[in-house]
Structure 1
Amino acid sequence: MGSPEHCVASRTPGQRVIVGLSGGVDSAVAAHLLIEQGYQVEALFMKNWEEDDEPGYCAAAEDLADAQAVAEQLGLRLHTVNFASEYWDRVFEHFLAEYRALRTPNPDVLCNKEIKFRAFFEHAQTLGAAQIATGHYARVTQDAEGLLHLRLAADANKDQTYFLHLLDQAQLERALFPLADLSKAEVRAIARRLGLANAEKKDSTGICFIGERRFGDFLARYLPRTPGPIMTPEGRVLGEHRGLAWHTIGQRQGLGIGGVTEAAEAPWFVARKDVARNALIVVQGGNHPLLYAEHLLGEQVHWIAGRAPAAAPFDCLCRLRHRQPLQHCTIVGYDNKMCQVLFDAPQRAITSGQSAVFYQGDACLGGCVIQQAD
C-alpha cells in the first residue's frame, strides 16, 4: 500500500503551539492533550462575526466565557482576536455570491481554509508559534517522501476531513489534530475527569462562526426576495416560493404545499431550479428519479498533495455531504479547473455549490465544488 507512513499528530513536543480555543469541549481537550505531550501551549479565541441581531443566535460572548474558564482551569494564557473583517471578505462575500447564483454553498469548507488555517496561523506566528492546533477530528500522516496525507479520524461519526479537504501541504505541515485517535465519547470522558466547565456543552451547529439562527430570516437581510411558482415537472402550479435562493435540492421542509393532492401522504421534495421561469420544480416521494443523478461536473478542483493521484480515468471514493457513506466513483477526466465524476450508483440530491470530496482508502485526496449534475 505505498511507502511506509508515520503519524505526525505529535511532531515536536517542547515547541510553542497556539490552540484555537472555541469554548467547546473538543478544543478544550485538544489543549489538554498537547500540554500532556509536553508542548508549550497557549490559546486563542477567534471572534469572526459581529453580533448585530437578537441574542441567542451568535453566542460569541458565551463561548468566550467558556474559553476563559477552560484556559483558567488548564493554566493557559488566552489571547483573543477579531477576524470579522477577514471572515466577511474571504468567506461571507463568497457565501452570498453563491446564493445569488442560486447555488448552495458550504461556508465551513472555505472558513477552514481561509480563517482557521490561514488567518489563525498568520496571527499565531506573531505570537511566536510555529504551529497551531484545533479540535477537529482528523489525522495527518507523512510518507517516506515527506508528503503529508489527511486521513479519516478514528471516530467515523465525527470525522471532519470533508470540511478540511481544501487544506494544502503547507497548512497540514503547521497544523496539529490531537483528537485524531479519540471518539467523541472519550473526549467527553476526559473533559469530565478534568472537571472542565464545558464537559457537557452541546456541539455547535449552524453557519460557521455565525451560529444557529432562523436561516430564511437571516438570508433575507442580504438577498432580495424573488417569489415565483412552485411547480411539478409537468407544469402544474402548487404554490409560491419566496425565492429560489432560499431552497436547496432535496429539500423537504418549508415548502408550504403539503396536502395539495389526493396523495398528500407522499411528501414533496425540491428536484430542480428552473432559472428561466424562476420556478421551483418539486416531485412527490423521496425516491423520485429526478432526485437522482449518476454524473457530476465539478469546478475549482483541489488536490491536497498538489497533484492528482493518477491520470484519468481512475477509481476512488467520494462523499457529497458530511457523514454520507463513501461512494464508489470514477474520475473520468480532470484538468487544473474542472473534473468529471461518474458514480457506480445514482446519487440523491447532488447540489450545485456543495463540495464533492474524494478519498482513496482512508486518505482524503481533495475535492471540488459541484457545478452541475445529470
Structure 2
Amino acid sequence: MSTSNLRVNDKRVVLGLSGGVDSAVAALLLMRAGADVHALHMTNWEDLDGYCTAAADLQDARAICAKLDIPLHHVNFSAEYRDQVFEYFLDEYRRGRTPNPDVLCNREIKFGVYRDYARRLGGELLATGHYARVAVANGDTQLLKGRDRNKDQSYFLHAVSQDALAESVFPLGDMTKSEVRYLARDAGLDVHDKKDSTGICFIGERPFREFLANWLPAQPGPITTVDGEQIGEHAGLMYYTPGQRQG
C-alpha cells in the first residue's frame, strides 16, 4: 500500500495504540511514511471484575512497540472517562434512553484530553486506527467514510470538532480489514489474528442486564396497550430499546 497520501514525513505523530491489529498497522504505515511515531496507550476503566481486557491489551501494545521499535507512553484517564462518559451513559438509561458512549468517548476523551496529552508529548498530529478519512475543501475539514464499508467508523467520529480532525490522521481510511490483517501478518505482528474488540470495554462479555443492575436499581412496571389494557410486566425501562429483537 502507498503511504504518500499520509503527508507525515518528519512529523511527530502520536498514535493511539490500543493493542489491536488496527492501531498496530496504523503505526506501521506511519513509520513507512517517514513519521516520528510515538505510541500512546490509554487505560480508561479500572478493571475490578475481570471482564475488561485492559491488562492484556497493554501487554499487546508493549509487544507491538518492541517489534516496531517505537516508544510507548501509557496514560490512565479512568477518572476523566467516568466523569465525562460513564456518568452520561448511566444518566441516559435513567431517562429511558439508549446512549452511544463511543461517540462521546471519541469527542471528550480520545480527541479531547487524550489529544491534549499528545501535544504535551510534542505531537504535531494525532493518529488512530479508525476506518475513516479526512479531507480539506474550501478551508473546511471534512469527515469521510472509510473505504471498507463493513468497517466504516465515521459515525462514531461525527461529534469530533473540525479543529481536532484537522490535526488527525487515519492511516487505515483507504484500506479494508483483510488488507490490514495481511500487512500485520507480513510484518510479523503477533496481533495479526487478534479478535476484534466488540461492545464497550466496561461491560465486557457478560449479559448487559447483569452489568446495568450493578449501577442502576431496577424499576419494574406494567406493560399496557394504547387502550390501557395491562398485558404484562417489564423489568425496568432501562433494559429496553425501541426496535430491539430480544430482551
Please give the TM-score of this superposition, normalised by the length of structure 1. 0.63
Deviation at 1:119, TM superposition (A): 1.2
| 1:110 paired residue number | 104
Q: How does 1:1-374 map to 2 (within 5 A)?
A: 10-53=6-49, 55=50, 57-143=51-137, 145-207=138-200, 211-254=204-247
1:17–1:131 contact (8 Å) kept in structure 2? yes
Q: Comparing both structures, which one devotes a greater share of its residues to strand?
A: 1
Q: Give per-residue Cα distances to partners, 1:39-62, cap 9 Å, x unaligned.
A: 000101100001122x2x201001
Q: Distance in 2 between matches of 1:71 and 1:169?
A: 30
Q: Give per-residue Cα distances to partners, 1:160-216, cap 9 Å, x unaligned.
A: 111000011111111110001100010001011111111111111112565443211
Helix, strand or coil at the partner of 2:38 = strand
Listed as ranges, the gaps of 5+ residues in structure 1 are 1-7, 255-374
| Distance of aligned partners of 1:58 and 1:82 in 2 relative to their CA distance in 1, 3 Å threshold | same
Q: Distance in 2 between matches of 1:45 and 1:179?
A: 18
Q: Distance in 2 between matches of 1:250 and 1:233?
A: 17
| Distance of aligned partners of 1:209 and 1:142 in 2 relative to their CA distance in 1, 3 Å threshold | farther
Deviation at 1:240, TM superposition (A): 2.0
Q: Distance in 1 between matches of 2:240 and 2:5?
A: 40
**RMSD of aligned Cα (Å):** 1.5
Query: Which amino acid is the alignment partner of residue 14 of structure 1?
Result: D
Q: Distance in 1 between matches of 2:86 and 2:179?
A: 34
Query: Which amino acid is the alignment partner of residue 45 of structure 1?
Result: H
Query: Which amino acid is the alignment partner of residue 99 of structure 1?
Result: Y
2:126–2:169 contact (8 Å) kept in structure 1? yes
2:53–2:201 contact (8 Å) kept in structure 1? no
Q: Distance in 2 between matches of 1:110 and 1:9?
A: 29
Q: Give per-residue Cα distances to partners, 1:278-331, cap 9 Å, x unaligned.
A: xxxxxxxxxxxxxxxxxxxxxxxxxxxxxxxxxxxxxxxxxxxxxxxxxxxxxx
Query: Which amino acid is the alignment partner of residue 157 of structure 1?
Result: N
Q: Distance in 2 between matches of 1:141 and 1:209?
A: 33
| Distance of aligned partners of 1:141 and 1:77 in 2 relative to their CA distance in 1, 3 Å threshold | same
Between Structure 1 and Structure 2, how many residues are aligned? 244
Higher mean alpha-carbon deviation, 168-177 vs 226-235, is at 226-235
Helix, strand or coil at the partner of 2:112 = helix
1:148–1:172 contact (8 Å) kept in structure 2? yes
Helix, strand or coil at the partner of 1:73 = helix
Q: Distance in 2 between matches of 1:67 and 1:138?
A: 22
Helix, strand or coil at the partner of 1:93 = helix
Helix, strand or coil at the partner of 2:135 = strand
Query: Which amino acid is the alignment partner of residue 188 of structure 1?
Result: R
Q: Distance in 2 between matches of 1:209 and 1:123?
A: 23
Q: Give per-residue Cα distances to partners, 1:55-76, cap 9 Å, x unaligned.
A: 2x20100111111111111111
Higher mean alpha-carbon deviation, 177-186 vs 215-224, is at 215-224
2:8–2:30 contact (8 Å) kept in structure 1? no
Q: Distance in 2 between matches of 1:164 and 1:125?
A: 20
Q: Distance in 2 between matches of 1:210 and 1:73?
A: 31
Q: Distance in 2 between matches of 1:134 and 1:211?
A: 22
Q: Comparing both structures, which one devotes a greater share of its residues to helix?
A: 2
1:71–1:77 contact (8 Å) kept in structure 2? yes
Helix, strand or coil at the partner of 2:193 = coil
Deviation at 1:224, TM superposition (A): 1.1
**Percent of residue pairs bearing the same amino acid type:** 57
